[in-house]
Structure 1
């Protein structure tokens, strides 16, 4: 058995075409409480590109000042268990699993056994790979917004990975959904089940019971005014400067909450196997359909990052490693 595996690594921080390359990295063996997974599909998120840029600069304190401390890229993962470490009884070789695993863009990845969810037989590995971060964020955002039957919900950034899941999950519980997007992506939002709203169009005052802000392009004041008394604005992301990124926007929400209504609810989503398993069950049952826009083989992984970096995507970008 080879002592190395092929991976996509970042040699420094910067534009993806400048810093990403394929390289052989040491092959790890699973320890206690861990499993070895053969990666089959990895979906990319906006955070993958930002971390490759080393932005916001604040994150470098934890991820490495001059270059990534952990160079292998990727987080979302779908694959097959090939070996289990001591003490692992929940998984066996051959099980199909999905979860958030840092460094997933490698042929084989060691993962905590308790971070994974089982993939139902009738869910493809490509679809499963889109679920962990985007799907878990969407589920938690809707819980925070108390969305239920009859709720009228605005979703910004509705054509992206998180936004697409928010739209479909809200529709599944009986909500009426408006999805903000660019005019070019209105068909994607309509197909997900929302009424498209062109990005930047005026918002009706007090027109919504809840707003799930994925795009981050609206001011906090605009979002507040769009919500009826007693409603909620959930912030899953946000734009910001190169130094602190969305932190300034999220902190502003926390500071103004005691004095301005309605409340803004910043969300720091945490990906766990329960949310991933629930989303996979929704996919298997046909209640949710992952919006997969682009699928590229591992050999073209840098191109996949470049498409996301340029914003030239509709739905999720997935890299497959089964070749």
Structure 2
């Protein structure tokens, strides 16, 4: 695929990223690290990294871009893609494609909508996706890790067992959602097993640099850029990549998705670990991380950095 960003703009990226990184420092202290998962509450708050990967194979980074962090809800994106590859449009019989307008862990809509979650990126929808994959794979945790290791070219990529246990021990609301959906016939497996898989999935750790690389297929018509010398891989059909991006744009930032679309204008997926990944189709990917969150559960510095980046590059217009 042709890179839509002129070489001159690419050469300006290091200075742009440095300036954004400097400007964002003033926002430290305006958010708080996630505290409802005890292990995440211990993360030092004053950290911030940005990584950019372009479809021509070039990469740029600044700050703590090579520090691993807990992906949390960003893993919902990869699980959703794996389910889409596995069962195709059958998936939409069990989960919707609409913004929820409610908090990521809300149960309110499940009763009025008969146990069908609004989209795959809220917790209820992600649990259904994990249930689908638990049926499909005897060892889902390793199936998902295998895909992520290939996308990042890192055979050592894994989840953090301590964070997974901390999350599992406090997953009471998620467990309630699972049983509630099971009462409507929209849950097949034992909720305990699905929650085990889900919490290990959410505890997967990556750096910004790895996350930008892992999502390159969404900027590149479904093709993963291989950096180990092997041929590029058609990881996802081009039409499916476009649809995934559309869902990220409308549903990827919890109940702040509309605000993100207005301010940033790119498909994004956020996580309460402080990470955000954004896709600029035909151009590249951006991963940001800063663990201090706003009231909606999105990274304060990360959202600022993405907004500044699109203002300075015009990537939200499809061109620089």
TM-score by length of 2: 0.35
Higher helix share: 2
Larger RCO: 1 or 2 (CA < 8 Å, sep 6+): 2
TM-score by length of 1: 0.35
Q: Which has the larger radius of gyration?
A: 1
